[in-house]
Structure 1
Amino acid sequence: MKILDQYILRRFLYNFFSSFFILIVIFIFQGIWLFIDDLAGKGLGMVIIGKFIFYFIPTLVDKVLPLTVLLSSILTFGTFAENYEFAAMKASGISLQRGMRSLIVFVLFLGLVTFFFANDVIPKSEQKMFNLRRNIAKVKPAAAITEGVFSDFEGTGQGMNIKVDKKYGEQDRFLDNVIIHKKTDQNINNTVIKAKAGELISSEESDIIQLVLKDGNYYEEIVKKDAQEKRKQPFAKSNFDTYTINIDISELNDQDLEEDQNITTNKMKNVGRLIKDIDSLRENNLEKVTAFSKNVVNRMGAFPVKAPIDTTQQKLELIKAKDTIQRDSIETIDQFVSGLEQWEQIQVMKKALNEVSSIINTVDSKKQELQSRYKFYNSHILSLHQKYALALSCIILFFVGAPLGAIIRKGGLGLPMVVAIILFLTYYFIGVFAGNYAKEGNIHPAIGAWLPTMIMLPLGISLTRRATADKGLVGFGHFIDRIKSLFKKKEKEAEDQ
């Protein structure tokens, strides 16, 4: 490697690692605020918190690395241009592309490393962080109770759902407006307990946590074995000033915080697993849609005639026959209804209306289920393409930042930082909006993953061409020349006339 290539690469690496360290620290502090309720005041040791942050860092690579490449390339080439080092290179016959040669090799290698991170490291890190959060909630029951929603307490010997409006006090031990659904052995909620306040009392020496409820009501649906008694639907209600529930956590005290669970989302899967799951999800969705379509057709009493595969004449005959059948059936229905008594006509109409309403309600409920299924399916396709798009985005953003730094001719953390943040926010928000549209099925998931990168690609080509030709960031010269030529052409036409 020549001395010039070593010098350019050394300067770029210095800016690259400095920017990466600064940005990763900023994003870590920003991310910690998202999980502050899960970590703060739970009695967790520094080792557990350190592991959580360690697992959290790789999940930031998809945000930090593209911004780092963009910022470091602007800083490096902006400093070169500001100190007239580029002018010296060009005077020596060294072009911009020649000066970028060593960095191009490095960025291509960085793209491969980024894909390895996206495919192997980030999914494992997501799973480790998810399992750690889940196991923390098991060991620290107060952490398992989320404000405003029902939280499940399973595996404690007493299945129940708990909802609170607010947690406060030391280790969130005090609760406001508690609602508890207790489950039977058959996992049925037949007991509801409501209390205005509650308190979690625990001791390190005991395997029992006491949930003390204050000023509440107890409702229970009594299940009788006698069928006659069941029809009466017996129900019990009582008031209490203080009600204590003992929760056995002996099993939870032996919980391993590093234990892996068999719960995976699209973010926890690599390329091979995503491709396999995408195929199975597509086949499963098609089976669901086909089965539901057949069910609706059978309920409507419609039996569509299969179209022949043969000649056009057969198709024409089928269309004529179909029209004749429909016309005859309509006449038959009209004749059938007109032959009924008025009260019978009303019953037939009500029956038909109820059937149609029932089918519409079934379709609406199934529509929501299918939408959630296809949203889950689209998220897998989106994650698959995002792994490839992330690797390519680092390469493309380098070709955006390097010529941009040579054009603006400014080093330091002033203007280059502002330009880099504006470009990255544009890239990031386009990716967020495109990803959301892709999950909802408004655009293809592949387009949602590649759209921000494809938008930056022509920008990188344009900036590289302008920097190579020593043009400014925005040039209006050719527009002005074109306008002048039009005026001259009109003047010449006027003189000829």
Structure 2
Amino acid sequence: MKILDKYLLKTFLTTFTTVFVILFFIFILQTIWLFISELAGKDLDFPMIIKFLAFSMPRIIPLVLPLSVLLASIMTFGDLSENYELAAMKSAGVSLKRAMQSLTVFILLLSIIAFFFSNNVIPFAEYKFINFRKNIAQAKPALAITEGQFSDVGFYNIKVNKKSGENGNTLTGITIHKKSNFGDGSKTVIKAKDGLLISNEKSSILQLVLNNGYYYEDITPKKYEDRSKMPFAKSTFKKYIINIDLSKLNKTDTNDESIANTNTMLNVSELNYTLDSLHKTFKTDVISFSENINQRIGIPKDNKLQSAKKNKKLPDNILSLYTNDKKIKILDIAISNLASTKYSIDASNTEFRLKQKNINNHILAFYDKFVIAFACFLMFFIGAPLGAIIRKGGLGLPIIFAVLIFITFHFINTFGKRISQENSLSPFMGAWMSSFILTPLAVLLSYRATNDIGLINMDVILAPFQKLVKKLFPSQK
């Protein structure tokens, strides 16, 4: 039996390693494509590119590892079944369950390693990756600007005709478009003959010193008819300094509006601590807001209104106590207070939704550490029985099945996380939804494979049609 276990383990490991390397290379190319705008045309040296890719590699593992286990399982057991090696094992008294035993132990160890990798290596790599992307422009500020084209640098679009100097810090022929705070285009244009980039690795401020230039700004008056009177403002300068805050560059979560997305940089213990703080802060904010609203609209505490009614009888229509002029003033004040309260509630509701989304993201990050470990285990018990059933190895049919199953898993996982972020589903269910849905498939395939039942029992499907045909066309004797 030990010889058989070694043979199965060697066969699986060979296939798994090959598949993992190929898929890892494919996903690395995808990463390069996603961040090509940050790498191309910025004179990055080779060590810096390698460092950039090295920090981005660990985030690929949660995608590559389960898919590699699935594909390697289908190919390994498909080859064994296609070459009648499984049949020979069964004739020797070795069941499929026994044949999978040694590989199950290996997958269990791989799942544990995947958890520790997800809990320790990936958060560290995310932290280094985020800071490295930000610090590229700090260490070499000229890398943030490309010759001959506009480069997006913070609140500015900068174009230079030529870069020179040891680190490319000396700029010639500078054109700068300053972005509007209201998102309605650029209303400020700065042109300079030359300039100098100055930075400090200990600071996130990039300083651009411009020499001998012009400053143009479109002025938008409050009244439309005054536009012809104030078309634009123009000034000249000998020296002009622009400070650019690099801390706002290269944010990791493009979908996040205002909350810092730090959940991917935390391990399980740090996430637990952070979640505890976030929950307490959120609860305190809700209580504080409710008390503030009650005080604003004048809701008394401890049933003071009821006691007041008991001491002094008040009419049902309190406005009847006042004159018409006072009634109008009271109603105007009430309408104003109502509009102000509604605006405050709407603004706070938006803020609370963002805070709840941040909490949900941290909870999802917590469960993701465990999902990747279980996904390896799940994909093995889907792939191994499926390979034994379809009896096809190689790179044909197994790849089709593996891609379809993994796309289903990844789609359900992404869908669950999205709706959990918006609080439409609990983060626990969102993180584990794909595992819960595909686990019955793993159980079904394992049962059918161990009992030598095909993938689809055609007799069960065709039997009703055969009975119908016999009733419609009875045989004549």
Normalization by structure 1: what TM-score? 0.76
Per-residue Cα deviation, 1:412-468 (whole angstroms, up to 9, x for no partner) = 111111111111111001111101111111111111111111111111000011111
CA positional deviation for 1:140: 3.9
Change (3 A) 1:363 1:247: closer
Aligned residue for 2:156?
163
Picking from 448, 459, 472, the partner of 1:466 is 448
Letter in 2 for 1:407: I
C-alpha contact (below 8 Å) 2:107/2:376 kept by paired residues:
yes
Distance 1:360 1:210 in 2: 48
Aligned residue for 2:127?
127
Distance 1:88 1:101 in 2: 17
1:148-297 equivalence runs, <5 A? 162-164=155-157, 178-179=177-178, 194-195=188-189, 201-202=195-196, 209-211=208-210, 216-217=216-217, 238-240=233-235, 245-246=240-241, 265-297=262-294
CA positional deviation for 1:477: 3.1
CA positional deviation for 1:217: 2.0
Aligned residue for 2:254?
none
Q: What is the RMSD of the two structures over their aligned residues, measured on CA atoms?
A: 4.0
Letter in 1 for 2:277: S
Change (3 A) 1:167 1:323: farther
Aligned residue for 1:32?
32
Aligned residue for 1:110?
110
1:336-485 equivalence runs, <5 A? 336-478=318-460
Letter in 1 for 2:289: F
CA positional deviation for 1:242: 7.3
C-alpha contact (below 8 Å) 2:217/2:234 kept by paired residues:
yes
C-alpha contact (below 8 Å) 2:141/2:199 kept by paired residues:
no
The aligned length equals: 426
C-alpha contact (below 8 Å) 2:5/2:102 kept by paired residues:
yes
Distance 1:304 1:475 in 2: 70
1:84-95 equivalence runs, <5 A? 84-95=84-95
Distance 1:304 1:125 in 2: 53
SS at match of 1:442: coil
Distance 2:198 2:298 in 1: 66
Distance 2:243 2:296 in 1: 50
Distance 1:67 1:38 in 2: 28
Letter in 1 for 2:103: L
Change (3 A) 1:145 1:16: same
C-alpha contact (below 8 Å) 2:20/2:64 kept by paired residues:
yes
Change (3 A) 1:461 1:214: farther
Letter in 1 for 2:315: T
SS at match of 2:189: strand
SS at match of 2:35: helix
Of stretches 87-96 and 110-119 in structure 1, the one that deviates more from structure 2 is 87-96
Distance 1:96 1:420 in 2: 20
Distance 1:202 1:215 in 2: 17
Per-residue Cα deviation, 1:31-58 (whole angstroms, up to 9, x for no partner) = 1122222222222211111111111111
CA positional deviation for 1:62: 0.6
Distance 1:5 1:39 in 2: 47
Aligned residue for 2:250?
none
CA positional deviation for 1:89: 1.2
CA positional deviation for 1:342: 2.5
SS at match of 2:43: coil
Of stretches 297-306 and 440-449 in structure 1, the one that deviates more from structure 2 is 297-306
SS at match of 2:410: helix
Is residue 2:96 matched to residue 1:100?
no
Per-residue Cα deviation, 1:192-224 (whole angstroms, up to 9, x for no partner) = 9711767884479999744476562288xxxxx
C-alpha contact (below 8 Å) 2:79/2:393 kept by paired residues:
yes
SS at match of 2:315: helix
Aligned residue for 1:493?
none
Distance 1:270 1:450 in 2: 18
Distance 1:8 1:2 in 2: 10
Change (3 A) 1:197 1:30: farther
Change (3 A) 1:177 1:98: same
Change (3 A) 1:458 1:244: farther
SS at match of 1:450: helix
Distance 2:98 2:22 in 1: 30
C-alpha contact (below 8 Å) 1:397/1:456 kept by paired residues:
no
C-alpha contact (below 8 Å) 2:409/2:434 kept by paired residues:
yes
CA positional deviation for 1:353: 0.4
Is residue 2:14 matched to residue 1:14?
yes
SS at match of 1:332: coil
Letter in 2 for 1:362: S
Distance 1:458 1:322 in 2: 59
Change (3 A) 1:181 1:423: closer
Per-residue Cα deviation, 1:17-39 (whole angstroms, up to 9, x for no partner) = 10110011100110112222222
CA positional deviation for 1:485: 9.8
Distance 1:445 1:169 in 2: 51
Letter in 1 for 2:451: A
C-alpha contact (below 8 Å) 1:208/1:248 kept by paired residues:
yes
CA positional deviation for 1:95: 0.8
CA positional deviation for 1:395: 0.4
CA positional deviation for 1:365: 0.7
Normalization by structure 2: what TM-score? 0.79
Distance 2:282 2:31 in 1: 35
Change (3 A) 1:208 1:455: closer
Change (3 A) 1:168 1:95: farther
C-alpha contact (below 8 Å) 1:127/1:264 kept by paired residues:
no
Distance 1:200 1:109 in 2: 61
Distance 2:336 2:145 in 1: 43
Change (3 A) 1:199 1:50: farther
C-alpha contact (below 8 Å) 2:382/2:445 kept by paired residues:
yes
Per-residue Cα deviation, 1:214-255 (whole angstroms, up to 9, x for no partner) = 562288xxxxxxxxxxxxxxx9x8314778534589xx9xxx
C-alpha contact (below 8 Å) 2:382/2:446 kept by paired residues:
yes
